[in-house]
Amino acid sequence: METILEVKNLTKLYKNGRGVKNISFSIQKGDIVGLLGPNGSGKTTIMKTIMGLTHGSESSVTVFGNDVETDVEKTLEKVGGLIERPAIFEHLSAKDNLRMMARYYPHVDEERIQQVLEATRISQYQKEKCGKFSLGMKQRLGLALAILSDPELVILDEPTNGLDIEGTVEIREIIKKMSAEKGTSFLIASHLAPEIEKTCNKVAIVHDGELLSFETMEEALRLNPTLEDYFLSKVKDKRGSVLI
Ligand SMILES: Nc1ncnc2c1ncn2[C@@H]1O[C@H](COP(=O)(O)OP(=O)(O)OP(=O)(O)O)[C@@H](O)[C@H]1O
């Protein structure tokens, strides 16, 4: 198995003392890893540190064997990300937003742009200015931007945020198809257990800045009817109480 991402003892504490402590996990080629945790548990902080957008204190994050702290550009060449809100130029069309992004990737041509517009089902709106897009359409464009360069690792923060049922299913299918057909690896943050359960083959439970567990989905569901039950059992183990 090829290790794509390795996070060792990631600690990032903000001045207010909040953040994440001692997070360790790894992603192998083709894995779809879900980062499941409630609001404020540290999911975005973990993703931002992996993408070099913020820096941990005692951590080591290696992507494709390169240390993210020492060589961010090289490390992130094969990584696509959608973190917090998609970075979209509202005065441009969806297609022009993709063209702007394509400037950074010599191998991305018009055919690839069209392919991605179709895969994310925004081709019918491709000429409209993005300022008029609904939240869900912006989210689809955010995913299109993240996968445009055909990255080997895609990092997505709440990718189905604002999407309707069909949109959620479509995004899930795109993720699974890329993993199965191309071996693309994914790290997906969400506070929605059913979504992570349906999409991912591994799950990391984050709570109050700590990693409570990192398991295959199969193992998580072995003694639990749903991922939600697994999550609650892990939180209960930590607190020694049924209250969460
Ligand atoms: N720039 C910052 N300065 C101070 N505290 C921060 C900062 N960013 C995040 N935090 C705090 O760190 C903790 C983890 O936040 P983070 O955004 O990583 O959580 P999250 O799991 O992504 O939450 P959500 O699901 O609500 O997006 C929270 O307590 C948050 O208030």
In a domain, 84, yes or no: no
In a domain, 86, yes or no: no
Ligand 1: residues with CB < 6 A are 14, 16, 18-19, 37, 39-45, 191
pTM across the whole model: 0.92
How is the chain split among helix, strand and coil, in percent rounded to 5? 40, 25, 35
Of 203, 215, 168, the closest CA to residue 33 belongs to: 203
Residues 235 and 164 in one domain: yes
In a domain, 206, yes or no: yes
Residue 72, φ and ψ in degrees, nearest 5: -60, -45
Place of tokens 């090289």: 74
Domain limits at 168?
Answer: 3-78+154-241
Of 109, 110, 133, the closest CA to residue 121 belongs to: 133
Residues 7 and 65 in one domain: yes
Residues 144 and 180 in one domain: no
In a domain, 85, yes or no: no
Domain count for the chain, please give it: 2
Residues 113 and 42 in one domain: no
Spacing, Cα 208 to ligand 1 middle (Å):
10
Residues 73 and 161 in one domain: yes
Q: What is the DSSP letter of 129?
A: B
Spacing, Cα 20 to ligand 1 middle (Å):
9
In a domain, 35, yes or no: yes
Q: Which of 150, 169, 198 is the last residue of a domain?
A: 150
Total length of the chain: 244
Residues 70 and 100 in one domain: no
The better pLDDT of the pair 177, 76 is held by 177
In a domain, 184, yes or no: yes
Residues 115 and 185 in one domain: no
Mean pLDDT for all residues in the chain: 91
Residues 158 and 119 in one domain: no
Spacing, Cα 128 to ligand 1 middle (Å):
34
In a domain, 8, yes or no: yes
> Has residue 68 got a pLDDT over 50?
yes
Residues 168 and 61 in one domain: yes
Q: Which of 132, 150, 168 is the last residue of a domain?
A: 150
Joined tokens for residue 216: 């295959």
Q: What is the CATH number of the domain that holds 230?
A: 3.40.50.300
Q: Which of 150, 183, 198 is the last residue of a domain?
A: 150
Q: Which residues contact 225 (CB under 8 A, 6 or more apart)?
A: none
Residues 52 and 38 in one domain: yes
Of 26, 23, 1, the closest CA to residue 12 belongs to: 23
Residues 105 and 136 in one domain: yes
The pLDDT value recorded for residue 224 is 95
Q: In which band, very low, low, confident or very high, does the pLDDT at 241 lie, cut at 50, 70 and 90?
A: low
Q: In which band, very low, low, confident or very high, does the pLDDT at 59 lie, cut at 50, 70 and 90?
A: low
> Has residue 27 got a pLDDT over 90?
yes
Ligand 1 pocket mutation pick from 18, 155, 191 by most atoms within 8 angstroms of CB: 18
In a domain, 83, yes or no: no
ipTM exceeds 0.95:
yes
Residue 141 corresponds to which amino acid? L
Spacing, Cα 19 to ligand 1 middle (Å):
6
Ligand 1 pocket mutation pick from 14, 36, 207 by most atoms within 8 angstroms of CB: 14
Cα 113 to Cα 96: distance, rounded to the nearest angstrom: 10
Q: What is the DSSP letter of 134?
A: -
CA-derived radius of gyration, the chain: 18
Joined tokens for residue 145: 């931007």
Residues 47 and 160 in one domain: yes
Residue 100, φ and ψ in degrees, nearest 5: -60, -45
Report the nearest-CA residue for atom 3 of ligand 1.
14
Cα 212–chain centre separation: 19
**Strand order from edge to edge, sheet including 202-207:** 79-82, 153-157, 185-190, 32-36, 202-207, 210-216
